[in-house]
Structure 1
Amino acid sequence: METTILKNILILLLAYFTQSSAERKDLTGKMFTFPVESDTAHVILDPNLSKSLTAVTVCLRFFSDLTRAQSLFSFATPASPNSFLFYKQANHVYEINEYDNVVLFRGLEDIPNRWNSVCATWNSQTGIAQLWVNGKPSTRKGVRRGRDISGRPSIILGQDQDSYGGKFDKIQSFVGMLTDLHMWDSVHCKKKSR
């Protein structure tokens, strides 16, 4: 019975996401719910982006009871499924993966079953990446410098793209709620938690 209810909820959410992706919408005030571990449930964002990115900042809030690794934000281009991946690993470890150059941030505490605010930044000119979790900054770390992110973007919430626009793994799927998603083509410093 519980499995049938969860499947029906997932089908309704997928129908909503499919209808919502047909037209451009502002995500202000929207919350996306990912109720079950899945290799199919995801949200596709279709940005109006025609220029190369020399910097990226992604901020969002998430609520999850999982302590396993899960994908928060996946930005792929035809050249790389990991043009800018923002990934929560287990045990308070976060990952920024920029063109398969991975940097790990440890010790930034997120709390299960509570809203957590996270921001990730990267600057091509300096190669510096930084993370904020609930208003607390990480150390700045070098990822890769001198190469912009270019190509038609595929932005996915709730899954890690292992190929451009797909090839999802349910063990990497996000389970919980995401809201307050913002992305900039510059470095924004997050000083306070919400």
Structure 2
Amino acid sequence: MEYINVTFAKSVLNCMLFRVMAGISRLLEALVVIFFKFFIFFVYLSFYQMAFLLLLAMLTACAATPQDLSSKMFTFPEETQTANVRLTTSGQMFKAVTVCLRSITDLSRAHALFSLATPSSDNGFLIFKGAANNIISVSVVNTDAGFRGQDYKLNTWHPICSTWDSESGLAQLWLDGKPSIRKFTGGSNITNPIVILGQEQDSYGGKFDRRQSFIGMITDVHMWDHTLSSCEVQRYVDDRNFSPGNVLNWRALEFQTTGRVLIENKQLPCY
């Protein structure tokens, strides 16, 4: 009888041990499955993260690639305090500046044509058409110079250029190839600029006012880190074998648009 009890106890113990081992085996199998699923999940997650980062890098590279806009123009079709084009300059410090562009508008109110701001001057270099028909102002490091007697006609393409250098502190304007007198603005070196088309910066890179926004078309924007001579300005006006800007070059322009700004083909005259 004692022998039978011992044998029965061993059988029960073996059965329990078998069940425990089977349970441990199933648990291990479940853990392996869970681990494998987590492994696959993280592999896929890493893959998609890498793909997203690669796509982001490609988009950034594309956005930063200079574009030849020789046959193009920016169209600003409505009054807004958001739509603008931010231009990337090739340098960060300038002792002298020449800016040239062509624009057309039907605005009789004040509007910005070219807005360059620095961390210390919202009007680091600003070309601004006031409400008065015959005045275009050039501001350098927050000092304004108003140039009177300008024949700024609406619905007409105008080539506009302006020069300034820190050594003399003198600024000058050309409208349709006609030079203004030279006026003193003073000013120190222009550093760390942000250049905006379509809006006037009342703070570094922002604080736009829709009542000063530009409506119309702008093209052929160039900027140099020196003052052009009258003959060089005339070659730009005539679009005749001029050297493109070495700070902003319309033929190799880095830019970013915000809001409703269209990049369209130039409207060339028919012959």
Tell me which interval the TM-score lies in, with the shorter structure as reference length.
0.7 to 0.9
Query: Which residue number in structure 2 is paired with residue 4 of structure 1?
Result: none
Any runs of at least 4 consecutive aligned residues in structure 1 with deviations exceeding 4 A, and if so which? 18-22
Give the CA deviation at 1:25: 2.6
Query: Which residue number in structure 1 is paired with residue 105 of structure 2?
Result: 64
Helix, strand or coil: the match of 2:94? coil
Give the CA deviation at 1:48: 2.4
- Whose RCO is larger (CA < 8 A, sep 6+)? 1
Query: How is 1:1-194 mapped onto 2 (pairs within 5 angstroms)?
Result: 21-50=63-92, 52-90=93-131, 91-145=133-187, 147-150=188-191, 152-188=192-228, 189=230, 190-191=233-234, 193-194=237-238
Query: Which amino acid in 1 is paired with 2:156?
Result: R
Determine if contact 1:27/1:181 at 8 Å carries over to the other structure.
Answer: no
Give the CA deviation at 1:30: 2.5
Runs (5+) with no aligned partner, structure 2: 1-59, 239-271
Give the CA deviation at 1:47: 1.5
Percent identity over the alignment is 49
Distance in 2, matches of 1:184 and 1:46, equals: 13
Distance in 2, matches of 1:83 and 1:26, equals: 27
Q: Tell me the TM-score normalized by structure 1.
A: 0.84
Closer, same or farther in 2 for the Cα pair 1:121/1:39, shift >3 Å? Answer: same
Distance in 2, matches of 1:114 and 1:80, equals: 31
Query: Which amino acid in 2 is paired with 1:58?
Result: V
Give the CA deviation at 1:22: 4.5
Helix, strand or coil: the match of 1:120? strand
How many residues matched? 174
Higher strand share: 1
The higher radius of gyration belongs to: 2
Query: Which amino acid in 2 is paired with 1:31?
Result: M
Closer, same or farther in 2 for the Cα pair 1:66/1:19, shift >3 Å? Answer: farther
Runs (5+) with no aligned partner, structure 1: 1-17
Higher helix share: 2
1:18-53: CA deviations, max 9, x gaps? 998543334433300000111001000011213x21
Distance in 2, matches of 1:48 and 1:79, equals: 20
Q: Tell me the TM-score normalized by structure 2.
A: 0.61
Report the RMSD for the aligned CA atoms in angstroms: 1.9
